[in-house]
Structures are given as C-alpha cells and as structure tokens.
Amino acid sequence: MNVLLTGSSGWLGRYLAPLLKAAGHIVTGLDITQGQYTTHIGSVVNRKLINELVEDRKIDAIIHSGALHKPDIIRFPAQSFIDVNVTGTLNLLETARKFEVQKFIFTSTTSLMIDRDIREGNFDYAVWLDETHGPLAPRNIYGVTKLAGEHLCRQYAEAFDLNVTSLRTSRFFPEEDDTMTDPPAENLKANEFLNRRHTVRDSARAHEHVLDHMKSGYAMYIVSAPTPFKVTDCADLKTNARSVIKKIYPHAAGLYAAKGWRLPQSIARVYDGTLICRELGFEYETDFANILDVIRKDKAMPFENDPNYINPSTIGAN
Ligand SMILES: NC(=O)c1ccc[n+]([C@@H]2O[C@H](COP(=O)([O-])OP(=O)(O)OC[C@H]3O[C@@H](n4cnc5c(N)ncnc54)[C@H](O)[C@@H]3O)[C@@H](O)[C@H]2O)c1
C-alpha cells in the first residue's frame, strides 16, 4: 500500500517506517523536522499540503502518529495542541474522505483515560483500564486534544464510511519520567511492563498489524504489554503489589534483588492491552516475563532507556 505516515521523524516513526517498508509498503513520511524516514517536511495543520501529498502519492492508507504530546506541554501553548492534535487530525480525515483513502490509523494515548483522581491514586484499589472505561475526563491539554482526535475519527468513520482505528498506546518513550525519579529510570521502566508500558517495537508492530487486519468502520484498542494481573487482584495491587507479583513470579524478587532493583510496593492502575490480541490476532513480543528472563540471562533490556533523548518537536521549536 502507499502509506502516509505523519510524525515520521519521531520516536515511533523511526521504528514504524522501516517496519512498514519491510512489509512491502511505500512510505511517505511527513514531519515538521528532518528524519531518516521523512520524505516531506511540513505540518499536518497545512491542509493544502496534505491534499497534494495524498493525491500525488496515491495514498491508500494514513497512519497519523505526528502530534504534540505530554513532554510538549511545557513548551507549547494550549492553542498549539488544538492546532496540531485536533485541526491536524481533522485535516487528515477530510483529506481521507475527499480522496477515498481506504484505511486510517490514529495513534492515540492511554493518557486520555487518566483523570485527576486516577492520577492522584485516590482509590483504595488499582483502577483497571480497558476499552470500556469511562466517562473520560482527561487531566491535561494533551489528553483533551487526543480525545477530541479520537472523537473526530469515530464520527468521520460513522458519517462517511471510513475505516478508522484508534490505538491508545501506553508508555514507550525512552527518556526519563518527568515526575518520578525513584526507582531509577531503567528499574522503573522494567516495573511498568507489569501494568503500563510496552516496547516501541511492539507499538510499531501493532500499527503495522492493524494496517492488515483492521475492521471496517471504527474501532479503538489499547496497546500495552499484556499484564499478568487479573481484575480480582486490584485491591491487593494497591495495598501490597509485591505479594501479588510473588504469587505469579516467585523468583522475581530474587532476580530484582541481585540487580539492586525494587519491585513496586503499590500499583494504582492497570492497562489491559489484550483486546487487540483477541479481536485482531496481534501478538506482543515483550511482556514482564521476558524482562525477568532477560535479567536471569544477564542480557540487555528489550527496551530503550535514554535520558538524553530529545523529542523532535523540541528541536523544531528551537
Ligand atoms: N512516547 C510515548 O510513550 C507515547 C505514549 C502514548 C502515545 N504516544 C503517541 O505516539 C505518537 C508518537 O509519539 P512519539 O513518542 O514518537 O513522539 P515524538 O515527539 O518523538 O514524535 C512525534 C512527531 O510528530 C512530529 N510533529 C509534531 N507536530 C507536527 C505537525 N504539526 N505536523 C507533522 N508532524 C508533527 C514531531 O516533529 C515528531 O517527530 C504521538 O501521537 C503520541 O501522542 C506516545
């Protein structure tokens, strides 16, 4: 297929573009900053440019990953989030409609499910978050504009018979957490594979898989490494996560201790990223069991940890 990938210079884009090419697709990469896989420099806010690109390159599918996201909140005003994440998404949907683009994938975020109470951990149990969770009250401009983007995708699919899938991806960024410094970054990222992270490679694989297997009309899936927990674990996860982990992985504490790492004492939220497996046959490569296996074999972690990663929007903003 001829695929237009927005955000092709970004962290996800640089994994997804080569994966798409390896699968035989012709990739047109659009980004505001230069990148190895970016064939066109420009903004999703520019509808004329998008129309020209889609027409000239005979685009059959759009993967819309370009966005301002959470780390951009401190650098860009709310209006920029509206322009890029809402108007940009609307522009691409309008173009998809106009040129009868067959498939549209919107990279969304699990962050839009996090309201203030979940963020502050104001429940005496871990909150189980799957595709049915609601009502939604995103806590920041990033989540608000991504939710608006999802709604536009759904409404355009319904009103204009487009095939659109939103992928609510959990964390896959390589940089350090902007709010948590304890435990250290690599330990924290490893822990998050229990409930709220996946590899950037699995994120790219999920997008590529959906391109081939998407449903007609509108669909939405969470993408996050399969959690080992069950809904019935939620009360214990909040009060004593280590006892729950011990029952599932009796050797985890010992493996962690040998590395000087710590398992989480309390878990306040769990993303269930398995509907995409059941409905579309997607298989994740990496989960927490793999992390333990890698520790056991003293190999490199299957995820990137790069405190020096600078997100391309920052470079573009300078
Ligand atoms: N990184 C994560 O952990 C994470 C988690 C959940 C969701 N997401 C989503 O995944 C997608 C990719 O994120 P990422 O981590 O690769 O971020 P990134 O910042 O590395 O990449 C985003 C890309 O979008 C580009 N972009 C920004 N404004 C644009 C515009 N107006 N027109 C065209 N391109 C523009 C940026 O230059 C950048 O290259 C985003 O939609 C983000 O919301 C990321």
Q: What is the pLDDT of residues 109-156, one digit of tens each?
A: 999 999 999 999 999 999 999 999 999 999 999 999 999 999 999 999
Handedness of CA 92, 93, 97, 102 (dihedral sign): positive
Ligand 1 touching residue 85 (CB < 6 A): no
Ligand 1 touching residue 50 (CB < 6 A): no
State the closest ligand 1 atom to the C-alpha of 315, by its place in the atom list counted from 1: 37
**Protein residue closest via CA to atom 4 of ligand 1:** 171
Query: Ligand 1 center to residue 312 CA distance, Å?
Result: 8
| Contact status, residue 197 vs residue 189, Cβ threshold 8 Å | yes
| Contact status, residue 48 vs residue 94, Cβ threshold 8 Å | no
Phi, psi (deg, nearest 5) at residue 232: -70, -10
- The 10 Å Cβ neighbour count of residue 138 is 19
Query: Ligand 1 center to residue 290 CA distance, Å?
Result: 27
CA distance 241 to 235: 9
Query: Ligand 1 center to residue 99 CA distance, Å?
Result: 25
pLDDT score for 177: 85
CA distance 48 to 33: 19
pLDDT score for 318: 42
- The 10 Å Cβ neighbour count of residue 177 is 13
**Protein residue closest via CA to atom 5 of ligand 1:** 171
**Protein residue closest via CA to atom 36 of ligand 1:** 313
Ligand 1 touching residue 23 (CB < 6 A): no
Residue 315 has pLDDT above 90, yes or no: no
Mutate to test the pocket of ligand 1, among 41, 43, 45, 69 (most ligand atoms within 8 A of CB): 69
pLDDT in tens, 215-241: 999 999 999 999 999 999 999 999 999
The packing angle between helices 234-248 and 252-259, to 10°, is 80
Ligand 1 touching residue 11 (CB < 6 A): yes
Domain limits of the chain? 2-317
pLDDT in tens, 45-97: 999 999 999 999 999 999 999 999 998 999 999 999 999 999 999 999 999 99
The correct CATH number of 2-317 out of 3.30.460.10, 3.40.50.2300, 3.40.50.720, 3.30.70.360 is 3.40.50.720
pLDDT score for 316: 64
Distances (CA, A) of 82 to 76, 139, 176, 217: 11, 15, 26, 25
Length of the chain: 318
Ligand 1 touching residue 32 (CB < 6 A): yes
**Protein residue closest via CA to atom 30 of ligand 1:** 43
Ligand 1 touching residue 18 (CB < 6 A): no
pLDDT in tens, 246-276: 999 999 999 999 999 999 999 999 999 999 9
313 or 32: which leads in pLDDT: 32
Ligand 1 touching residue 64 (CB < 6 A): no
pLDDT score for 317: 53
Tell me the pLDDT of the chain averaged across its residues: 96
Ligand 1 touching residue 89 (CB < 6 A): no
Q: Which residues pair with 61 in a beta bridge?
A: 3, 103
Give the tokens for residue 88.
């940009």
pLDDT score for 67: 98
pLDDT score for 124: 97
**Protein residue closest via CA to atom 19 of ligand 1:** 311
